[in-house]
Structure 1
């Protein structure tokens, strides 16, 4: 806009040049549609090298020719390809539903890739997180068994600190579905809602207080330095809301202390504008451990998280918060999928905390032996040497002595330490077949031996001060054989193996992955729609043969595929028939009933080309014949890069890489039979196997379509059309008059002149090679009234010299007259 002047001086006004540059589009981006064992179904995916393709779609060529054709494309010079994996309607993705520790279905895992490969996916769940009673970890991988029986894990993925709570930033659906290349997850919303309904979140102190209130209050006072005038602080967060500091007084007795702490927290929540209320109590029998009570802060919301609040911190003194030795159980914890392996229960239910009593007691914490039943080993693992767990008395460093009626059992820190010693003993004395570790207050055993269902029939028991495997202890045996227990498989099986899913009560509703059958016409049409919707540009289309796909099925594809290519300004490479040794020689290739003539029916001929014979290549370690389309597409890309799209992708420089031979050799005379029918020959010459033809399917003699007889002319035209289509969009909605026409002439003329300087057109000077016309002659007043601007672009294409004729003339000796 004009500069507004207000004072004498110099003003700067930046203005655009008014010129528009048209950039040539790509000419050799290929679109492949075919079958594979891996990869998303019906999802166009761009790959820029063979390694990237193999990572997504694998190297197994048993499902058809997609894998070798793409390999040939990149080997022969291709650089960018869009891959669409398709199959018929029987293709299915492997799936499995996981249950929580109570056997209720909470989560479904579904393989992202349809097919039997999904049956190889395994999932492991563990609670080894910063808060083992709130979040969980998920590990995913493919379990692959090699020819010699060697088991490897491929595609390993680990997702940590997940939650089943939809409001969490680590909600499993959000995290896994955005990042996993193996599965998608879906939480069973109604089941989870029923599980968490009415369940409160709670934070337990790690300290086990005496039964008598007076003794409990004395213990608290001693830990606070026995100074009633001093105030203490904690930091608390409810249901994932911002953490706030809370200050409270020591108070004169236990009931007053508990009431004062409750009021202090709720008042602070209210003044901070946060939602939720808490209650603070000492949990009594039967929900607490024998001989003692646990201080709890309980909320009706999703969870309570307590942490330190220096300098007058009370969280560490009361062992509140997981980091301080406490136990925090979210309302969502019961809705988590059950951990894999042998994992002890800790829920906070009526009898769960009761199980910890013996491991917290210095006097009762003795083991005469433990026994790990391991049927797959053929014998049990037993540690028979008696040992006594060391104790860390709750009142260490104080002068408090509880009354005789109270049984002091220490702290949950004792439990953690004692479980750690037990885990070390099990891991060291189980013939290297088991790993054992602690997850806060859980003992977790995982088989090291192979098999996804490994360990499900194993059991851990003990003798001495308590029996680990008895009712009410760490591992609760089932009331009935079909009840869920703490004993789970090593890994969940996504899908089905051997006609069945994995073992155990925590996985069900498994669905076997299915590769599906060869795609039908409707499947290709759906793929065309997906490509049209999601792919910005492609220039070459290849339809590799699928496993079991007949020539009759493939013949139905070429017409719709060529029409789609015409719509998208692309070019189709058609493969020759090969069933029952079809087109075994040039006579069959040109036979009026079974040769090229009936194959032309329904095809947009000037947007397609066909090459024959098929090529010999090594696929999956075996030499076999493959269609030439992928190889030829790579050759197109190579010639485009080195010479330009206007150069015919044929001749001695058009040697084909990665092939060993041709299915049928031909002579010059044979070539002379198929060339007039626009069947492009692939021939063996001294410099290798070369492409020795450059006609479109419309280029047969007397076709009446001489304009697009040759592949380079058609492909150059497509380049010009697509480039102008994209480059002239600036003209839309501009005033339709001479200034716009001049800009169009300048932009289109610059683009065409650039091609002329590269040698794309015939002619010694630009006026002989091309023209661009956009003025009052091409755009009449009626066109202007209709909102139309007409641009006429003409060019003189270079046509390949198919026939080089050498005339040899002898010069007769001069006769002297």
Structure 2
């Protein structure tokens, strides 16, 4: 706002600069679409390393070619990616029904299901507690979900089965932003009370009431199948033993003594003991190792006085429980053994006992995603269409499009049609200014089949994709590091990312610098002559060269056959053009609805010229001077009065691309001896 002078003096006014910096968009954000054993379904999840992939999608899986492609991407220099999990069409979601506590587990209170299909859901457990919940609110509770395999946890405090509550559990857990990534929940019709809390609860412990005048013991029983734990007497406080001075210390003592006694009977048997919300009481929960004791994670633990309590703890007054009764450990700990419950509700594998029922096992399914599953639905954002919700990706890999038939690595899985998948993927890449890496199908395993494939078999053509041959051989950690054949797109995507980071997207991702890390060999060894047959057709070859190892030895797009004479023949030229297009698109959004006249045009010229000059200084263009390297034009010649009347402003951007030295000729001339004199 202009300053209005009212007194003699100096006035300062900040003026808006006409410069708006345009930053080059990243060129190496990869996207992977295909089958994984676990993870969010049909939702693009960003990962910044293979550890992120392991946390979100379970890591390597023998049936998931995508998992190996992602591993290769990060191994070869990739740093940023999205993964879209396309589940098996016949996968089943793990689930369990939690019953309520007000009717001693008679009525269903909550149904918890894994967020996606697969056997991974069988490793999910649910804890329920009432810490911090008012005693008068019988519908509110705290819900904790844990993945036993990865150790990941989610906690939702103060949720309620009351649909009128602002913390209604279905809404909180199902929130797309802050809700659960592991489970979904449903409150059955007619549910009137919260689920029964897990574990055995105790009231407020009087630490000053603890005694060590003699041994104090508990009798522990469990319903673990096989009768391994049957009325085990555990001495928790020994005569003369120092007494804990806090509830946390009491929990640690109780856990240590119980673990020692239970694990002596069976390895993997243990408990958790946690202080209550008030810090004055405690809760004991079975925490058995599911690998050591299958089916025992949800075991019911019950606590009672030893059968010979009179010998261990002294006589007890008739009627028991009165103020003058001899103290027992059960009374000192204030444990309410009558409300013993499952240790943890186990999805999929939970037994029909205590307050859980109707377990539905999760299953991976026998089928893998087919053509329609991979292509997906543009309106429901499934398959590759899930990437339409992603702000920016620049490289697309679909290993499942050329997935080998199960049990036969040399045949294509009949459930997938590569041409249909690649065709839909190229349309998406054209819309989003990205590049598709096309994999050869398993039957393409020599020069003759590769020639047929690139000439006639591959119907998806255009400048927005690049094809590579042959398939790569990678050590498989799940099979003793034996070499296994995979699609090369994940490896190539990582190479592109590494080249972009070190040299820029205008550098061809090929040559002796383009080593393929983690690759133990190739499905076919090409000679120079064979390479010379495929390269003119726009098929990039992978080679194993002495000294250099396995490298990428081509940099053409699928529009790069010599017969096409396309301006987008070379991969770095096409990728640089996409970077310029996307950067200009994002960096000039401010111009929308600005007055369409010379002041706007000059600002556009200034900003875009600064951007293009920055690329020129990095060596992205041909030419020794900016005049030879690029052009920015926005004036009355590009934008006529008719354009102005229609609300249009036109900007012309031109650049002289650097094309790779694909053929290097060295001329040698022998000189005869020169006469000196």
* TM-score, normalised by the number of residues in structure 1: 0.64
Residue in structure 2 matched with residue 577 of structure 1 by the alignment:
441
Q: Deviations over 1:572-621 (max 9, x none)?
A: 0000010xxx2221122102xxx212244233x21100111111111224
Contact 1:542 1:574 in 2 (8 A): yes
Say yes or no: does 1:740 pair with 2:596: no
- Displacement of 1:664 in angstroms is 0.8
Contact 1:110 1:183 in 2 (8 A): yes
- Displacement of 1:10 in angstroms is 2.1
Q: Which moved more, 1:503-512 or 1:126-135?
A: 126-135
Residue in structure 1 matched with residue 44 of structure 2 by the alignment:
44
1:544 to 399, 404, 412: 399
Residue in structure 2 matched with residue 25 of structure 1 by the alignment:
25
Say yes or no: does 1:94 pair with 2:91: no
Contact 1:436 1:443 in 2 (8 A): no
Residue in structure 1 matched with residue 123 of structure 2 by the alignment:
120
Residue in structure 1 matched with residue 518 of structure 2 by the alignment:
658
Contact 2:220 2:231 in 1 (8 A): yes
Say yes or no: does 1:381 pair with 2:231: yes
Contact 1:35 1:64 in 2 (8 A): yes
1:319-330 correspondence to structure 2 within 5 Å:
none
Q: Tell me: CA distance 1:554–1:765, structure 2 relative to 1, closer, same or farther (3 Å).
A: same
* TM-score, normalised by the number of residues in structure 2: 0.77
Contact 2:297 2:343 in 1 (8 A): yes
Q: Tell me: CA distance 1:704–1:343, structure 2 relative to 1, closer, same or farther (3 Å).
A: same
Distance in 2 of aligned mates of 1:598 and 1:502: 57
Unaligned stretches of 5+ residues in structure 2: 204-215, 236-246, 264-268, 308-315, 322-337, 377-381, 407-411
Q: Deviations over 1:83-111 (max 9, x none)?
A: 11112443343222211132111112122
- Displacement of 1:720 in angstroms is 0.9
Contact 1:341 1:455 in 2 (8 A): no
Residue in structure 2 matched with residue 557 of structure 1 by the alignment:
421
SS at match of 1:715: helix
Q: Tell me: CA distance 1:448–1:66, structure 2 relative to 1, closer, same or farther (3 Å).
A: closer
Distance in 2 of aligned mates of 1:48 and 1:673: 39
SS at match of 2:644: helix
Contact 2:541 2:554 in 1 (8 A): yes
Contact 1:40 1:114 in 2 (8 A): no
Residue in structure 1 matched with residue 535 of structure 2 by the alignment:
675
SS at match of 1:32: strand
Say yes or no: does 1:452 pair with 2:296: yes
SS at match of 1:606: coil
Residue in structure 2 matched with residue 612 of structure 1 by the alignment:
469
- Displacement of 1:722 in angstroms is 0.8
Whose Rg is larger? 1
Q: Tell me: CA distance 1:378–1:759, structure 2 relative to 1, closer, same or farther (3 Å).
A: closer
Residue in structure 1 matched with residue 238 of structure 2 by the alignment:
none
- Displacement of 1:691 in angstroms is 0.5
Say yes or no: does 1:514 pair with 2:358: no
Q: Deviations over 1:350-376 (max 9, x none)?
A: xxxxxxxxxxxxxxxxx9997958674
Residue in structure 2 matched with residue 61 of structure 1 by the alignment:
61
Distance in 2 of aligned mates of 1:724 and 1:369: 73
Q: Deviations over 1:267-297 (max 9, x none)?
A: xxxxxxxxxxxxxxxxxxxxxxxxxxxxxxx
SS at match of 2:78: coil
Q: Tell me: CA distance 1:511–1:467, structure 2 relative to 1, closer, same or farther (3 Å).
A: farther
Say yes or no: does 1:718 pair with 2:603: no
Say yes or no: does 1:504 pair with 2:357: no
Q: Tell me: CA distance 1:125–1:744, structure 2 relative to 1, closer, same or farther (3 Å).
A: closer
Distance in 2 of aligned mates of 1:428 and 1:609: 59
Distance in 2 of aligned mates of 1:674 and 1:373: 69
SS at match of 1:503: coil
Contact 2:73 2:491 in 1 (8 A): yes
Q: Tell me: CA distance 1:811–1:128, structure 2 relative to 1, closer, same or farther (3 Å).
A: closer
Q: Tell me: CA distance 1:47–1:813, structure 2 relative to 1, closer, same or farther (3 Å).
A: same
Contact 1:96 1:507 in 2 (8 A): yes
- CA RMSD, 1 decimal: 3.9
Residue in structure 1 matched with residue 208 of structure 2 by the alignment:
none
Q: Deviations over 1:714-760 (max 9, x none)?
A: 00110111111111222211111111111111111111111111111
Q: Tell me: CA distance 1:610–1:369, structure 2 relative to 1, closer, same or farther (3 Å).
A: closer
Contact 2:419 2:459 in 1 (8 A): no
> How many pairs align?
584
Q: Deviations over 1:468-498 (max 9, x none)?
A: 9xxxxxxxxxxxxxxxx95643332212x4x
SS at match of 2:190: helix
Q: Which moved more, 1:370-379 or 1:536-545?
A: 370-379
1:490 to 343, 350, 372: 343
Distance in 1 of aligned mates of 2:303 and 2:621: 82
Residue in structure 2 matched with residue 782 of structure 1 by the alignment:
642
Residue in structure 1 matched with residue 113 of structure 2 by the alignment:
110
Distance in 2 of aligned mates of 1:646 and 1:455: 61
Unaligned stretches of 5+ residues in structure 1: 145-152, 196-334, 346-366, 386-415, 469-484
Q: Tell me: CA distance 1:112–1:667, structure 2 relative to 1, closer, same or farther (3 Å).
A: same
- Displacement of 1:133 in angstroms is 7.8
Q: Deviations over 1:686-709 (max 9, x none)?
A: 21111000011111121242x000
- Displacement of 1:661 in angstroms is 1.2
- Displacement of 1:767 in angstroms is 1.2
- Displacement of 1:44 in angstroms is 0.6
1:598-609 correspondence to structure 2 within 5 Å:
598-603=456-461, 605-609=462-466
Q: Deviations over 1:431-466 (max 9, x none)?
A: 567869898999976546543366459796888845
Distance in 2 of aligned mates of 1:117 and 1:453: 16
Residue in structure 1 matched with residue 492 of structure 2 by the alignment:
632
Distance in 2 of aligned mates of 1:384 and 1:30: 57
Residue in structure 2 matched with residue 272 of structure 1 by the alignment:
none
Q: Deviations over 1:413-438 (max 9, x none)?
A: xxx9xxx9xx99x9699756786989
